[in-house]
């Protein structure tokens, strides 16, 4: 059986465990065993708030854990773009180590990982039908890495219609938009994507970033979901149909 290590990050671990459950379901549908990594904040919020010492402590512990759990041979999957950015790029630049180098070259966003499986002919695409009109928001921490696999992957699910794609910042900016002092600026930035949602009237907004989801959901009232949840639902619909 194939195996991967899953680093869930704070959002899936504490705020939206359905994301983690969906990832486990999809991986196991493909015969991939999932090792749940020891959890600790990746350090990105600490870096953004000038707590370099705390960020270094967490980052070094995490990459040490991930390297040991991967045994120097397994891939690592994330469902949070900010964690992915920290593990792939930002952390090793500030806190270099052989473990950080390994993690950097073996960590993948969950949808990006599924896309790689598709190109390898390993992804099951006999999805069940989900009738939804969705708008996709590409988070900044995926966009700057040149990663935008979600529209292509979700287009494989029968019934899903992608009515729009937003590539602009939602205004949350990690912990920036959660601070009272930045509220007005955050709201002004967010209005562009809010207007897009209001004009296109999707059933759901889809994004990998939990922070973006909070910002878009609060400004529009539209439900926001992680794409792995829709992939899991479509896979489940396929299983029900087969049964």
**Domain-by-domain residue ranges, the chain?**
2-117, 132-242
Size of the chain in residues: 243
pLDDT at 232: 97
Architecture in CATH of 132-242: 3-Layer(aba) Sandwich (3.40)
Judge whether residue 242 has pLDDT over 90. Answer: no
pLDDT at 134: 98
Q: What percent of the chain has pLDDT over 70?
A: 97
Distance between CA atoms of 28 and 143, rounded to whole angstroms? Answer: 28
pLDDT at 176: 76
Architecture in CATH of 2-117: 3-Layer(aba) Sandwich (3.40)
Q: Do domains 2-117 and 132-242 have the same CATH topology?
A: yes
13's tokens: 């671990």
pLDDT at 240: 55
Quickly state the pLDDT bin for 241 (edges 50, 70, 90). low
146: left (phi over 0), alpha (psi -120 to 50) or beta: left
Residue 155 · residue 149 · CB < 8 Å? no
Judge whether residue 178 has pLDDT over 90. Answer: no
The per-residue pLDDT for range 58-109, each reduced to its tens digit, is 999 999 999 999 998 999 999 999 999 999 999 999 999 999 999 999 999 9
This prediction's pTM:
0.93
Quickly state the pLDDT bin for 157 (edges 50, 70, 90). very high
How are strands ordered across the β-sheet holding 132-137? 160-166, 132-137, 204-206, 224-225
Quickly state the pLDDT bin for 239 (edges 50, 70, 90). low
Judge whether residue 4 has pLDDT over 90. Answer: yes
For residue 78, count other CB atoms closer than 10 A to its CB.
28
pLDDT at 179: 80
Element (H, E) at 126: none
């Amino acid at each position: 059986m194939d195996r991967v290590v899953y680093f869930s990050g704070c959002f899936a671990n504490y705020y939206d465990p359905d994301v983690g459950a969906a990832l486990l379901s999809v991986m196991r549908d493909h015969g991939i065993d999932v090792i749940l990594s020891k959890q600790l904040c990746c350090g990105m919020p600490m870096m953004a708030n000038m707590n370099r010492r705390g960020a270094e402590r967490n980052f070094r512990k995490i990459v040490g854990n991930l390297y040991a759990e991967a045994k120097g041979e397994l891939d690592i999957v994330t469902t949070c773009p900010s964690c992915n950015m920290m593990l792939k790029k930002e952390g090793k630049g500030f806190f270099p180590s052989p473990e950080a180098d390994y993690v950097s070259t073996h960590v993948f966003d969950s949808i990006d990982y599924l896309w790689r499986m598709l190109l390898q002919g390993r992804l099951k695409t006999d999805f069940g039908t989900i009738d939804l009109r969705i708008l996709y928001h590409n988070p900044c921490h995926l966009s700057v890495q040149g990663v935008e696999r979600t529209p292509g992957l979700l287009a494989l699910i029968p019934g899903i219609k992608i009515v729009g794609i937003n590539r602009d910042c939602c205004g949350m900016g990690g912990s920036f938009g959660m601070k009272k002092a930045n509220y007005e600026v955050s709201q002004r930035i967010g209005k562009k994507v809010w207007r897009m949602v209001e004009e296109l009237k999707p059933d759901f907004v889809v994004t990998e970033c939990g922070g973006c989801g909070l910002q878009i959901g609060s400004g529009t009232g539209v439900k926001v979901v992680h794409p792995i949840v829709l992939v899991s639902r479509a896979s489940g619909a396929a299983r029900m149909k087969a049964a």
